[in-house]
């Protein structure tokens, strides 16, 4: 038999995450929306609430929890602010390669600070030429003495201007088939965050470019061995990045459902609440069906991961389904609101904009289909 | 070490209040499928105890009377930093009014080795009698200060507290041990933390049934309750709409008169 229930402790984690999101994050959202920046208070709140420590092992100062608990936390935070959940999920995406592939010295050096919030992380793989074709990477590395020198540009990097620990993938200047990843600190010579993006949604989530100009990285910051970079980056993105996007999408779906129910209960049309209209009821039902199906897919993948298995394919299925479902949910939520769904004072307009950004993050739906089709054909 | 007991009630989650129904026969609230949460004002009482603990050595025990499902509320208190959790759960305890509740809590506190003070929330969000704290103090033969908004001096043989009154507060010095009922202005309760939940794994919940308290069944629950709820009705709200015509001043005057005549404004 399969038990589909969360443990009492996991329910308590959900309650803790919801309380945190509603009391600490929700008040920050209006300013983040208004400026598209002002992410510092959200980052501080995430760190103070130990949200960045969830999957870091206890021996390195983390909480030693699993990916089910991470998904619970992300879902609850995204329910209030997808932008904040996105920065949190990518922070963990930058941390995971150090947990999985880091040397003992690297773990001791970086993980306690990443768990406590002294440091914040990201992964820098995507380049102007695209993110779905990592082998098209043009950022190069060259070893000279005890250092590697990196040159290139990364774009669409979440936490680009926040993260002081960035896992960067580059290609050997002399061997186009050899990719490696490096732990780059923001203070290292030649590292520079440059352009900040202004996205249509997830406003207040830092996204931007970084420039690496003869960036000198000590040899001991090579992560996972020379030539192993593709495995490091793809494992992180497949298992952690896609899983994180599932959390963001599920949280947004839940928010859409709640906003839609509230509006449908209160909006009077033809002398009665519009929740009595079948056209509205069916939309609510469709959002709920998608949400439940997405949760089953997402938590299945997270459970596989917690059991020690690879879950990147299962997360590809869940990422595809939940991102698409979140976009459907946001559209239906706006539709249920009628004309109010076009007015910015109604939160569903934010949901609609946020849902748009869920699509390409950690791989578009078409790329997910490519991955899933490879899986079924293999 | 200071020994603080906090009495915590598991109440229906007010976010789910629309699901609460009144049983037409028993006049009791039917709460099936409604999650139980810590009574909001008990969170203020708990927070006050936790803040005192943070300033010096203290051991906090929470006692909650309720169905087995109230164990989740006790667990939540442990995750918030409480040292020991006791759940008073027995079918005989069901249907207790404030008096029977206070008596049952008293018998449980009486079993503990030494207690320096007892904290309660000012009122519960469901019953809202505000009687349990004072009645408990009577059973315990302790002084009681109600509506505490600030613990000015906590520690030693006498404490100083500020307690709310209608237009201000009283500064009260009270000989210990004592009972305090804490109000919402006392503090902002802390939220759950993931590490707190993890630490609570090692904390046990003790469950006491009727026999553990050594009391007669007639003294607790519905049988031990001298008050009964004779009737409960649901307030029905109806919407009406009136368009007020006239200049801005005329409209304001008409509106104020209507609000006064309908009893909204006095």
Average pLDDT for A272-279? 96
* B123 domain-assigned: yes
Residue A247, CA distances (Å) to A124, A131, A140, A298, B98 in order = 21, 21, 33, 8, 44
Instruction: Give the start-end residues of each E strand in A59-186.
Output: 121-124, 140-144, 147-158, 165-172, 175-185
Domains with residue ranges and CATH for chain A: 8-120 (1.10.540.10), 122-230 (2.40.110.10), 231-377 (1.20.140.10)
Which residue of A8, A49, A65 is in closest CB contact with B75? A8
Domain of B25, CATH number, reads 3.40.50.620
pLDDT of residue B16: 80
* B94 domain-assigned: yes
Q: Could you give the ipTM of this predicted complex?
A: 0.90
* B231 domain-assigned: no
Average pLDDT for A138-148? 95
Cα gap A85→A93, rounded to integer Å: 12
* CB count in 10 Å sphere of residue B145: 22
B197/A16 CB distance under 8 A: yes
Q: Which residues form the domain of B202?
A: 2-219
Angle of helix A242-266 relative to helix A312-336, nearest 10 degrees? Answer: 20
* Per-residue pLDDT tens over the stretch A293-316: 999 999 999 999 999 988 999 999
Cα gap B113→A89, rounded to integer Å: 48
Cα angle: A122, vertex A21, A265; to 5 degrees: 130
* B249 domain-assigned: no
CB A100, CB A236: distance < 8 Å? yes
| Torsion sign over Cα B111, B112, B114, B120 | negative
pLDDT exceeds 80 at position B24: no
Structure tokens at A327: 């976009």
Looking at CA atoms only, how far is residue B193 from chain A in angstroms?
Answer: 6
Average pLDDT for B159-170? 94
pLDDT of residue B55: 92
Q: What is the number of domains present in chain B?
A: 1
Q: Give the closest residue to A207 by CA, choosing from A217, A218, A197, A216.
A: A197
Cα gap A196→A157, rounded to integer Å: 9
pLDDT of residue B230: 81
* B109 domain-assigned: yes
* B264 domain-assigned: no
A50/B191 CB distance under 8 A: no
Work out whether strand A175-185 and strand A222-223 pair parallel, antiparallel, or are unpaired.
Answer: antiparallel
CB A159, CB A90: distance < 8 Å? yes
Looking at CA atoms only, how far is residue B89 from chain A in angstroms?
Answer: 19
* Per-residue pLDDT tens over the stretch A65-122: 999 999 999 999 999 999 999 999 999 999 999 999 999 999 999 999 999 999 999 9
Angle of helix A104-116 relative to helix A82-101, nearest 10 degrees? Answer: 160
Cα gap A16→B36, rounded to integer Å: 15
Express as a percent the part of chain B with pLDDT over 90. Answer: 76
pLDDT of residue A332: 98
Residue of A nearest to B76 (CA): A12
pTM, two decimals, is 0.89
pLDDT exceeds 90 at position B33: no
pLDDT exceeds 80 at position B17: no
pLDDT of residue B265: 84
* CB count in 10 Å sphere of residue A7: 10
Which residue of B191, B198, B201 is in closest CB contact with A19? B191
Express as a percent the part of chain B with pLDDT over 70. Answer: 99
Across chain B, mean pLDDT equals 92
* B190 domain-assigned: yes
pLDDT exceeds 80 at position A132: no
Structure tokens at B88: 């008073």
Average pLDDT for A3-24? 95
A262 touches chain B (CB under 8 A): no
Cα gap B207→B194, rounded to integer Å: 25
pLDDT of residue B154: 93
* B59 domain-assigned: yes
pLDDT exceeds 70 at position A131: no
Cα gap A369→A356, rounded to integer Å: 18
Average pLDDT for A151-156? 95
């Amino acid at each position: 038999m399969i038990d589909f229930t969360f443990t009492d402790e996991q329910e308590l984690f959900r309650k803790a995450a919801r309380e945190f999101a509603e009391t600490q994050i929700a008040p920050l959202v209006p300013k983040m929306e208004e400026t598209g920046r002002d992410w510092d208070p959200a980052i501080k709140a995430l760190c103070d609430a130990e949200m960045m420590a969830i999957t870091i092992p206890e021996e390195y100062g983390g909480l030693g929890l699993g990916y089910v608990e991470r998904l619970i936390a992300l879902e609850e935070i995204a329910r209030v602010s997808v932008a904040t959940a996105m920065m949190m999920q990518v922070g963990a995406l930058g941390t995971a390669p150090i947990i999985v592939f880091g040397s003992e010295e690297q773990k001791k050096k970086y993980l306690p600070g990443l768990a406590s919030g002294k440091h914040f992380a990201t992964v820098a793989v995507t380049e102007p030429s695209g993110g779905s074709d990592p082998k098209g990477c043009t950022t190069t590395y060259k070893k000279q003495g005890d250092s590697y020198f990196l040159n290139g540009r990364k774009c669409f990097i979440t936490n680009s201007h926040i993260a002081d620990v960035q896992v960067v993938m580059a290609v050997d200047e002399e061997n186009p088939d050899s990719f490696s990843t490096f732990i780059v600190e923001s203070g290292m010579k030649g590292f520079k965050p440059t352009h900040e993006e202004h996205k249509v949604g997830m406003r207040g989530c830092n996204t931007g470019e970084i420039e690496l100009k003869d960036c000198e990285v000590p040899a001991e910051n090579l992560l996972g061995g020379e030539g192993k970079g593709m495995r490091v980056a793809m494992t992180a993105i497949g298992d952690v990045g896609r899983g994180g996007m599932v959390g963001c999408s599920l949280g947004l779906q839940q928010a859409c459902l709640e906003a839609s129910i509230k509006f449908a209960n209160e909006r009077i049309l033809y002398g009665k609440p519009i929740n009595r209209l079948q056209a509205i009821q069916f939309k609510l039902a469709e959002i709920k069906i998608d949400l439940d199906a997405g949760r089953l897919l997402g938590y299945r993948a997270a459970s596989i991961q917690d059991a020690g298995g690879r879950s990147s394919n299962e997360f590809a299925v869940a990422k595809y389904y939940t991102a698409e479902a979140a976009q459907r949910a946001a559209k239906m939520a706006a539709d249920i609101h009628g004309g109010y769904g076009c007015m910015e004072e109604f939160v569903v307009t934010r949901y609609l904009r946020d849902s748009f950004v869920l699509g390409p993050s950690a791989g578009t739906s078409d790329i997910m289909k490519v991955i899933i089709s490879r899986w079924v054909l293999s | 070490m200071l020994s603080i007991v906090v009495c915590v009630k598991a109440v229906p989650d007010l976010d789910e209040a629309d699901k609460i129904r009144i049983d037409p026969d028993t006049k009791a609230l039917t709460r099936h499928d409604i999650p139980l949460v810590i009574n909001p004002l008990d969170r203020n009482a708990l927070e006050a105890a936790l803040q005192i603990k943070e300033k010096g050595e203290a051991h906090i025990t929470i006692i909650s009377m309720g169905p087995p499902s109230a164990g989740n509320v006790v667990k939540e208190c442990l995750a918030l930093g409480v040292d020991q959790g006791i759940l008073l759960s027995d079918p005989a305890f069901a249907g207790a009014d404030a008096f029977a509740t206070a008596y049952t809590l008293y018998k449980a506190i009486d079993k503990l080795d030494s207690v320096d003070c007892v904290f309660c929330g000012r009122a519960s969000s469901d019953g809202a009698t505000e009687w349990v704290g004072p009645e408990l103090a009577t059973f315990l033969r302790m002084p009681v200060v109600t509506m505490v908004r600030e613990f000015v001096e906590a520690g030693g043989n006498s404490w100083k507290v500020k307690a709310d009154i209608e237009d201000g507060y009283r500064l009260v010095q009270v000989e210990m041990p004592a009972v305090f009922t804490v109000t919402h202005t006392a503090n902002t309760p802390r939220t759950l933390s993931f590490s707190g939940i993890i630490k609570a794994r090692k904390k046990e919940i003790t469950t006491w049934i009727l026999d553990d308290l050594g009391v007669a069944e007639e003294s607790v629950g519905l049988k031990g309750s001298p008050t009964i709820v004779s009737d409960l009705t649901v307030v029905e709200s109806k919407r009406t709409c009136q368009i007020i015509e006239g200049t801005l001043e005329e409209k304001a005057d008409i509106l104020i008169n209507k609000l006064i005549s309908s009893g909204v404004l006095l």
